[in-house]
Structure 1
């Protein structure tokens, strides 16, 4: 929704960008309003009287919207992607630079496509793998993942097979997945109910960084996306490190919740190197290690409270 305000001779239109609002869940603590305004506009607009009134209005609406901490105004850094800030329920902005318009456009559109690499399940008989790969039309190199993930360190080990002669050396049962160059960065997308959090992790390097002539054609890796491989503060090319757009993740999360029937899971995503808008889901984990997600304590507590609130409301409506 866009609401254009009055325009004076020396000012461009004030615009309010808002996501469609429905009553938030009981876990919602406040309405977050992000603002991208000039310093002059901030001084004239965000006055103490407005801030006090916003708190009072929120308290008056608390029964309907379940808010406990009122309306919170938060400054937006227009030099950073919106996907790395917020989340915001409403965005107020009055900037006209091309850079800001691009930031806004990137956030408000579901830019990008989400794919899955072609893959193949091998249950037994490693000698049959080359024929199975050829029949399925898979292209080397291939990532080999254990089929059964039981929490042991072995179940998280990966291998990269890059020549056909190495395929019979793999150890079924496993999943073979076409490798996609992605700049060595993986995005772990945590889903807790309707809440989404994303962290960067180091991943497998692009295949062209390897010396492919010095072993049996298989590179073996320990667990590559664990918390110790945190890439949040690493000096990485922004084109590689930029998080997937928030609207894209919200749409993906909603669709996966519907298809999987799950509320607690995480998605491992990569961006194809050199393709800004093409992403691949390479793994989905049910009830992952939320202890590695920043701020998980508050997020998970709110999620549990929202379940209780939903059950209570259903009981009331049925009585």
Structure 2
């Protein structure tokens, strides 16, 4: 890992975190969901079937992308009932739930969930709030992968050299030189709520970046990224088009900062494209299974995905460039089967 240089006071860093959490807490205060408002409620499953009640607290955007009719229908047939958590009422007064599924942040919500976990030990909370916080900061999320330093006959998995910049954009060029990072560099917001990124080709352009951010060495990877979706012990891998390779010639001839909304998008599926077989080949399944198992344990999460690239010109050198909690599973083929099986397994394992 590259050196980490902190350029802001602790007070300033706390301000950034507080601003982020304040937005979520405002959202928590405003959100008032009801099961009837989302999809008109659910038909009860057969009376002979034990009902698994899943309380959910999600943003309206997440509800739309995740609770699709095909998921609700299959869940109902399997005896799973999704019930919206009313954030205007105490959580302990609702339910009873077998599982609580959530993707909200903020200190108030974390406190509510932690208290609920203590008073309702038999309810599975997906996932623990403290574990989720760990992957919201790009300063800490990839450190787990770096510490793992996974290497076996199927390949090696690491992270790009990176540098955290918390303040003073004018000092970025010197900091990059001191850390020994090589251009071009990918710049990402320090807090993982945004998928925007920039690609900086020269040192002078680095001063145009806006901290707090993380700088990562750009690794040529054939323009293909692998999204590894993890749902409990299940793994699903999808190809996505990514940023194109940068040649030495292009690096010398290019200057400036290029901004991208995200490194990949759902529309940019590379699964059906005519790609070089060496570029398109999926990472070995045993390698991904070992990586997922280690990260489930070390992160304490069961719902996340990994953005993985393979260094161009190699067959077995992989890098994790991002980790996302409760990602867009709705983009994953047959996600409704994988997710309902996972929910049932949680209840059956109790």
User: Which TM-score applies when normalising by structure 2?
Assistant: 0.55
Alignment of 1:108-257 (within 5 A): 110-150=153-193, 155-208=194-247, 211=250, 216-257=255-296
- Do structure 1's residue 292 and structure 2's residue 335 form an aligned pair? no
Distance 1:159 1:125 in 2: 17
Deviations 1:228-262 (A, max 9, x none): 11111000000000000000000000111111011
Distance 1:138 1:213 in 2: 16
- SS state at 1:189 partner: strand
Question: How many residue pairs were aligned?
Answer: 199
Deviations 1:184-233 (A, max 9, x none): 00000000000000000000000129855777421222223121111110
Unaligned runs of 5+ in 1: 1-108, 312-319
Distance 2:326 2:295 in 1: 14
Higher mean Cα deviation, 135-144 or 190-199?
135-144
Would the alpha carbon gap of residues 210 and 186 (structure 1) be closer, same or farther in structure 2, given more than 3 Å must change?
farther
- SS state at 1:224 partner: coil
- SS state at 1:159 partner: strand
Unaligned runs of 5+ in 2: 1-151
- SS state at 2:171 partner: helix
- SS state at 1:156 partner: coil
Distance 1:268 1:168 in 2: 27
Distance 1:137 1:215 in 2: 20
Match of 1:270 among 309, 312, 316: 309
Which is bigger in relative contact order (C-alpha 8 A, separation at least 6)? Answer: 2
Deviations 1:78-126 (A, max 9, x none): xxxxxxxxxxxxxxxxxxxxxxxxxxxxxxx841111110101111210
Distance 2:253 2:184 in 1: 16
Q: Is residue 225–residue 309 contact of structure 2 (8 Å, CA) maintained in 1?
A: yes
Pairwise CA distance, 1:277? 0.7
Distance 2:249 2:256 in 1: 11
Pairwise CA distance, 1:149? 2.8
How big is the alpha-carbon RMSD for the aligned residues of Structure 1 and Structure 2?
1.7
- SS state at 1:301 partner: helix
Q: Is residue 158–residue 221 contact of structure 1 (8 Å, CA) maintained in 2?
A: yes
Q: Is residue 186–residue 203 contact of structure 1 (8 Å, CA) maintained in 2?
A: yes
- SS state at 1:200 partner: strand
User: Which TM-score applies when normalising by structure 1?
Assistant: 0.60
Distance 1:176 1:305 in 2: 41
Distance 1:178 1:213 in 2: 16
Would the alpha carbon gap of residues 209 and 225 (structure 1) be closer, same or farther in structure 2, given more than 3 Å must change?
farther
Q: Is residue 191–residue 263 contact of structure 1 (8 Å, CA) maintained in 2?
A: yes
Would the alpha carbon gap of residues 300 and 260 (structure 1) be closer, same or farther in structure 2, given more than 3 Å must change?
same
